[in-house]
A and B are shown apart, each in its own frame.
Chain A
């Protein structure tokens, strides 16, 4: 199963006809394995990594350090949920260290993101402080180097 997950993590679009021989299983078996992993929510989603900037869209990405006052019984979870339910919020991590949540927000403009932080995020009960950092340039995302200049420089045929 690990092998199957690694292969799909590399490329979610791999056809079962390609996965089966690599895994030395039948196509039917691989299909069943994938279904089970999806059902068990081991596989959460199949996303596509897109260079929106190259496509021509201007996006603003901000990383916001959020400090919280934990609540009795539920700790940080309930506040985290109130935050991650917003569509603008792409990613939320509970962190160790000098702040509690790392919230990554994407918006169309600086104003939109600033508005979200000022009006939505910082007004949530339990949020005691926020510090926003705007992303200037991505170099690598989810293991993919954005502008990778490395290419196959080998001779076409060699002994």
Chain B
């Protein structure tokens, strides 16, 4: 665009100016110019949405499902979501009042923050965590307070760690397990002390459980709202992106007390109106008939998880065995590089893309996030390249 006399930067709101753009952009730009990149940097499934879901959406379009839906989403979808939680966690949400279908968990997160926060309210955010948590808090006028989790504790957060950061201004505790970027999970036992902590300080808990369907091993996913007495103080967020490989559909939901859901619906109806109807049709199909496809993908991730954990460990990069999501978060300090340098050097010399740990909070320094949502062949090749990198390009 031609130059104007207006200094747009000056006109931007303080809150927008105060948030930093995502640190991932740089790597994206470098990688986009390379042809043989193996990417362990992708935060979404490598599977295409299972065909039965896609096919049902095509049918939906043929049937003319092209209009707005109720602000809260199709009642059939809300009913299926309620059924799933009743079945899986014995948690009961009323489809009419307790559930809001959103444009992905991202929108749900933004709505929850805007509905809850007054200027200056503090939000406790265990880090490393998904990139949007702090930004959403800031944009809603709140103050994000990072609580670093530790590798020696497999990146689970403890009440003792949270205690160090809680103040009279703390209003919300925002947790995301299974965790992006670390692959950490919280067990029911781990959550007991967090539940006590939330109760003691009378905090609202926002629990982002988008990776809840992706856990490995014997430990089933612990849903925070299913902890004793926690349903009433929890805003539970989930969606279809990861479990059913539906990232581009942008479909998620929030569940909780009717008052918070009504408040979030108010913002949603004026800003989004409703989630895309085709995505809602697909989500219904996913919940009704998607279980087999979901388990097949889960099984495939599990194989890759074991391969990459074994591979990185043999290369001498310390990591714990991830129990959820599709990420592993090795310690790369032995290479002599910072996270950012490691990611950039590895991309430049070996054409393997991954994400520096610092993109997910300052305490991610010394780590990189590797996504294993990619084929076994590619993971094997990436491990070979990383081995070569560590041999020949150590600082």
Residues on B with C-beta less than 8 A from A154 are: 39, 42, 44, 46
Residues on A with C-beta less than 8 A from B131 are: 159
Residues on B with C-beta less than 8 A from A24 are: 306
Residues on A with C-beta less than 8 A from B355 are: 157, 159
**B94 contacts chain A at the CB level, 8 A cutoff:** no
Q: Are B306 and A157 in contact (CB under 8 A)?
A: no
Residues on B with C-beta less than 8 A from A14 are: 376
8 A Cβ contacts from A66-121 to B? none
8 A Cβ contacts from A118-159 to B? 150, 152, 154-159
Contact of B307 (CB < 8 Å), options: A11, A21, A150, A158: A21
* CB of A26 to closest CB in B, whole Å: 11
**A22 contacts chain B at the CB level, 8 A cutoff:** yes
Q: Are B311 and A158 in contact (CB under 8 A)?
A: no
Residues on A with C-beta less than 8 A from B303 are: 3, 7, 22
Residues on B with C-beta less than 8 A from A152 are: 46
Q: Are A156 and B37 in contact (CB under 8 A)?
A: yes
Q: Are B41 and A158 in contact (CB under 8 A)?
A: yes
Contact of A157 (CB < 8 Å), options: B27, B48, B304, B310: B27
**What is the interface of chain A mostly: helix, strand, loop, or mixed?**
loop
**B28 contacts chain A at the CB level, 8 A cutoff:** yes
Q: Which of A11, A18, A155, A158 has the most CB of B within 10 A?
A: A158
Residues on B with C-beta less than 8 A from A155 are: 28, 42
8 A Cβ contacts from B368-395 to A? 376-377, 380
Residues on B with C-beta less than 8 A from A158 are: 24, 41-44
Closest Cβ neighbor of B130 among chain A residues:
A159
8 A Cβ contacts from B108-162 to A? 130-132
Contact of B48 (CB < 8 Å), options: A23, A150, A156: A150
8 A Cβ contacts from A1-49 to B? 3, 7, 11, 14, 18, 21-24
Q: Are A22 and B41 in contact (CB under 8 A)?
A: no
Complex Cα distance A24/B310, Å? 9
Interface residues on B, range: 20 to 34
* CB of A157 to closest CB in B, whole Å: 4
Q: Are B42 and A157 in contact (CB under 8 A)?
A: yes
* CB of B19 to closest CB in A, whole Å: 14
**B31 contacts chain A at the CB level, 8 A cutoff:** yes
Complex Cα distance A33/B73, Å? 52
Complex Cα distance A158/B359, Å? 11
Closest Cβ neighbor of B34 among chain A residues:
A156
Residues on B with C-beta less than 8 A from A159 are: 22, 24, 43, 130-132, 180, 355, 359
* CB of B37 to closest CB in A, whole Å: 6
Complex Cα distance A21/B303, Å? 9
**B172 contacts chain A at the CB level, 8 A cutoff:** no
Q: Given known contacts A18-B307, A18-B376, A22-B306, is B353 in contact with A156 (CB within 8 Å)?
A: yes
Complex Cα distance A158/B242, Å? 13
Q: Which of A18, A23, A150, A154 has the most CB of B within 10 A?
A: A154
Complex Cα distance A152/B46, Å? 7
**B12 contacts chain A at the CB level, 8 A cutoff:** no
Closest Cβ neighbor of B378 among chain A residues:
A152
Complex Cα distance A156/B33, Å? 11
Closest Cβ neighbor of A17 among chain B residues:
B380
Residues on A with C-beta less than 8 A from B304 are: 22
**B32 contacts chain A at the CB level, 8 A cutoff:** yes
Residues on A with C-beta less than 8 A from B39 are: 154, 156-157
Residues on A with C-beta less than 8 A from B32 are: 156
Complex Cα distance A159/B41, Å? 8
Contact of A156 (CB < 8 Å), options: B22, B28, B311: B28
Complex Cα distance A24/B376, Å? 15
What are 5 A-B contacts defined by CB distance under 8 Å?
A22-B376, A23-B306, A156-B39, A157-B353, A159-B180
Report A's interface with B, CB cutoff 8 A: 3, 7, 11, 14, 18, 21-24, 150, 152, 154-159
With A154-B46, A156-B27, A156-B39 already in contact, 7 other A-B pairs whose C-beta atoms are closer than 8 Å: A7-B303, A21-B306, A156-B37, A157-B24, A158-B42, A159-B24, A159-B359
The 7 A-B residue pairs whose C-beta atoms are closest, nearest first, are A21-B310, A157-B41, A156-B31, A159-B131, A157-B28, A158-B43, A22-B303
